[in-house]
Chains A and B, each alone.
Chain A
């Protein structure tokens, strides 16, 4: 079945460092891909999405490119801030499936 694999956390970085959180997927068909963020004590918020190959989603300085050839959707940010500390989830949905399938989440800790 479909699945999403994320790099394990926690990922600890200093402020202004470059961030990459890896996400790879397995799916039949052509899924849509999402990154959600969960701040402490809050619900899930959509960060960005891409619905077809080579699409780039971007929001709040974060970017991710849908790479069909490597089945990946890695999250990147050029300069992280303390306020970016949260848990980041990669997820997919495909046209034969109405649910979101999630990775386990990656906790990001940014130190000043």
Chain B
């Protein structure tokens, strides 16, 4: 069974640029959540996708957007990058009905984004 994978591992961008991060969910999982983890802090929820539709969103501006594909893989897009967007971006997948409280989320290794 393949776990959650993310690409790229590291990325360096300059302020104002756009970035796309990719995530492949664990086999059999239909729900993908994205989190931003600043250095030394806990993750912050960005949004969740269930069966190709956005299922919920955290307190992030519209320049953070996403997609989920029919194979349940997902993309996170960030436009007009700001210095504060520098962080570890984590993707997590889970199975079953979207957003059930007891569902375990399985995390990928993350993409480290640096904005200069």
Contacts and interface: CB of A to CB of B under 8 A. Distances in A.
Interface of A: 4, 30-32, 34, 36, 42-46, 49, 51, 89, 91, 93-95, 97-105
Given A93-B101, A97-B101, A45 B42 contact: no
B90 A43 contact: yes
Given A44-B107, A51-B101, A105-B41, 16 more contacts: A42-B109, A43-B110, A46-B104, A46-B105, A49-B102, A49-B104, A91-B42, A93-B102, A93-B103, A97-B56, A98-B48, A98-B99, A100-B33, A100-B35, A102-B44, A104-B41
Interface of B: 4, 33, 35, 40-45, 48, 55-56, 58, 90, 92, 98-110
Interface of chain B: mostly helix, strand, loop or mixed:
loop
Contacts of B102: 32, 49, 51, 93
A44 B43 contact: yes
